[in-house]
Amino acid sequence: METKIMKTSSLLLGAAGLLLMSAVSWGQMTAYQESQRLNMEAHVGKYTGHAKDAEGTYRRYCVGCHGVEGDGQGENAQWLDPMPRNFTLGQFKCRSTPSGTLPLDSDLYDSIGRGFDRSVMPPWNTLTNQEKVDLVAYVKHFSSKWTTEKAGDPFPIPPEPEVTADKIQQGQVLFQKLECWKCHGVEGRANGPSSDTLTDDQNRPIKPYNFAEGARQKCGSTDRDIYRIFMSGLDGTPMPSYIDNVKPEEAWELVFYLRTLQQKNAYNAKEKAIAKQLGLKPIDPNAPVPAAPAAPAAAPGGQQ
């Protein structure tokens, strides 16, 4: 009996020891990688951020959703919709750089301070500027992409022209030509025929943006923000980049038209007034489609 117990105990102890050893060796490997990547820096304005200085801040504010490994698998992730960003992929929606490229440090910095509407990511604007830049460096340290690639070159955004009735109408034509309505709906209510079929690059269902609800977009509220979203696309989602298919002046026309789809807010008084004057009606998707620039492919990883 005693021998049996001894044998069983020895086996169990051996198994536990093996488990412990493998855990230790795994821990050493990640610790090495961690130490290498913790040298990551970020630069925004006069601030230089250091990943190693943000460990405490990340643990306090971010780890619950984004996870210890930055893979978006924090303890609360299972309850969240949309899911938290997986930083290990090095893929970000809000960029001022072309689709498929890494964002600027300032893009990540702005995202942290602004938060994301239609998600539980709040604006972390109570943090100091230094803490936010440190966090940017820490976010970057999760993905090896930042060690092998540079951030994309930001695309230029020309000055915003004056809003006119003509431009709004041209924007509406573009809205139809580019088939924005297929996802966003003819009135921008996120109820287009494709809206229920969309998934992100993780094959998770995703909803198009509802212009008629609220004034804030995920990546900012100003006209320039809408322009940027439209031209950069939202990587990892079905929203493609239109930078190669739409001229800058056309993009501004589309921005003005999209403003008419929103509820009245601090940004669209002019557009709403002109639309009212024009008696602007929603597009008819069955009407002949004017010759239009070809719709581009979905954003990298996106499944449309």
CA distance 227 to 158: 10
Asked whether the beta carbons of 179 and 172 are under 8 A apart, the reply is no
Q: Which CB sits closer to other proteins, 60 or 203? A: 60
Q: Please state the closest distance from residue 19 (CB atom) to other proteins, in A.
A: 8
Q: Which is nearer to other proteins, 20 or 297 (CB)?
A: 20
Tokens read off for 231:
């031209």
Q: Where are the beta strands (DSSP E) in 63-172?
A: none
Nearer Cβ to other proteins (60/162) = 60
Residue 61 or 175: the one with the smaller Cβ distance to other proteins is: 61
For other proteins, give the closer residue by CB, 10 or 164.
10
Q: Which residues bind other proteins (CB under 8 A)?
A: 2, 5-6, 9-10, 12-13, 16-17, 20, 53, 56-57, 59-61, 63-65, 75-76, 79-80, 115-131, 213-214, 216
Nearer to other proteins, 12 or 29 (CB): 12
Nearer to other proteins, 21 or 297 (CB): 21
Q: Which of 64, 69, 68, 34 lies closest to 52 in space, CA to CA? A: 34
| Smallest separation (angstroms) from other proteins to the CB of 162 | 26
Question: Minimum distance between the CB of residue 17 and other proteins, rounded to whole angstroms?
Answer: 8
As measured in angstroms, the least distance from the Cβ of 101 to other proteins is 28
Question: What three-state secondary structure class fits 38?
Answer: coil
Q: How far is the CB of 16 from other proteins (least distance, A)?
A: 5
Q: Count other C-beta atoms under 10 Å from residue 184's C-beta.
A: 24
Q: Tell the smallest beta-carbon distance from residue 97 to other proteins (Å).
A: 25
Asked if 241 and 247 touch (Cβ cutoff 8 Å), the reply is: no
Token pair for residue 70? 């930055």
Minimum CB distance to other proteins smaller for 60 or for 291:
60
Tokens coding 42: 């970020």
Distance between CA atoms of residues 179 and 108, nearest Å: 30
Whether residue 146 contacts residue 235, with contact meaning beta carbons closer than 8 Å, is answered with no
- Phi, psi angles (nearest 5°) of residue 153: -80, 130
CB 300 → other proteins: shortest distance, Å?
27
Q: Is 85 exposed, middle or buried (0-12, 13-18, 19+ CB in 10 A)?
A: buried
User: In sequence order, what DSSP letters do the residues of 42-60 get, joined into one string?
Assistant: EEETTEEEEGGGGHHHHHH
Minimum distance of other proteins from residue 265's CB (angstroms): 9
